[in-house]
Amino acid sequence: MNILLLGKNGQLGSEFQKILPKLGTTTFLDYEELDLRDLQALEQVMNDLKPNLIVNASAYTAVDRAETEQETAMKVNALAPGVMAEVARKIRAVLIHYSTDYVFDGKKDAPYTENDATHPLNIYGRSKLEGEENIRQVGGAYLILRTSWVYSMQGDSFVNKVLGWARKNKNLKIVNDQISNPTWACELAKATYLILTRYKTNLIEEIGERHGVYHLAGGGHASRYEWARQILANDPNRTEQLVQTLEPVSSGEFPTPATRPLFSALDCSKIAKTFDIRLPDWRVSLQKAMSE
């Protein structure tokens, strides 16, 4: 199989770099090789490589910055996925794309299913939803996997932020009214890989038959406050922590340029039914991620 991975340096992309080579010949790209704002270059690269499988782990994920960089967010998150879908359809390739819980407004009081109405509250969420719609309009053999609160132990993830804050502050305030599913990038990549390996002998037909939007996120849900509490408890270097109190506060105490949905937990039963795939409980994954 000839595989193209976009966004190789991101949280999810880095995990895919480790496992996709088991499936075939791989080309891994990110900013430095291909700026996705250049849609013609994207089309050219895809036509030159003619992959059988495109895994799009790239995205403009700076939720607050997107409010002032709308054009960039729209190009990367909405237009580029549309181009990927068009070329994929032409060259008969499978497209795996990721979307977000931020397509919802967070006003529901139970986890969101794929049938729930979307209503993004910020530019990032709007750009990701347009990306979904652009792919859907083209059709073909695609999976749009909506996930939420993705973290890894690299870079600027929420986990690393909390660990950093805990080393500089005695009192930490964390919002307790934003609730979703913490999702370990490693498990998300592995679950995707499982689907791909299961159907690898006839990928285009098998994914084509099951194409659509699926929710795929860590099991259970939590507030950012509960998540932070577990991060501190699992810290392998707890003696380095200065923090003495962790205080739950409301989002109103930390105004941000982008409004975030309050309750955006995802119900992942459709993917469990269709592909027999479930991610472990978020606490189990967090413990594993922080002990590796």
Ligand X SMILES: NC(=O)c1ccc[n+]([C@@H]2O[C@H](COP(=O)([O-])OP(=O)(O)OC[C@H]3O[C@@H](n4cnc5c(N)ncnc54)[C@H](OP(=O)(O)O)[C@@H]3O)[C@@H](O)[C@H]2O)c1
Q: Which residues bind ligand X (CB under 6 A)?
A: 7, 9-13, 30-31, 35-37, 57-61, 76, 98, 100-101, 128, 147-150, 185
Backbone angles phi, psi at 143, to 5 degrees: -125, 130
CB of 52 or CB of 56, closer to ligand X: 56
Is 124 catalytic? The answer is: yes
Of the candidates 281, 290, 13, 15, the residue with the CA atom closest to the CA atom of residue 163: 290
Minimum distance of ligand X from residue 244's CB (angstroms) = 28
- Among 124, 142, 214, 225, the one annotated catalytic: 124
Q: How far is the CB of 112 from ligand X (least distance, A)?
A: 13
Helices (H), the chain: 11-19, 39-49, 70-74, 80-91, 123-138, 158-166, 185-198, 203-209, 224-234, 269-275, 282-291
CA terminus-to-terminus distance, the chain: 31
Q: Which is nearer to ligand X, 108 or 241 (CB)?
A: 108
Beta-carbon contacts of residue 44 (< 8 Å; ≥ 6 apart): none
| Gap between the Cα atoms of 51 and 42, Å rounded | 13
Which CB sits closer to ligand X, 139 or 155? Answer: 155
Q: State the DSSP H helix or E strand holding residue 172, giving kind and residue range, or none if neither.
A: strand 171-175
Q: Are 203 and 33 in contact (CB under 8 A)?
A: no
Q: Which of 74, 98, 91 is nearest to 138 (CA)?
A: 91
Residue 9 CB, nearest approach to ligand X (Å): 4
Q: Which CB, 55 or 203, lies closer to ligand X? A: 55
Minimum Å gap between C-beta 71 and ligand X is 11
Nearest distance from C-beta of residue 193 to ligand X, angstroms: 15
Position with the least CB separation from ligand X: 10
Kindly state the tokens that stand for 226. Answer: 């509960």
Kindly give the residue spans of alpha helices, DSSP state H, lying in 59-122: 70-74, 80-91
Positions annotated as catalytic residues are 124
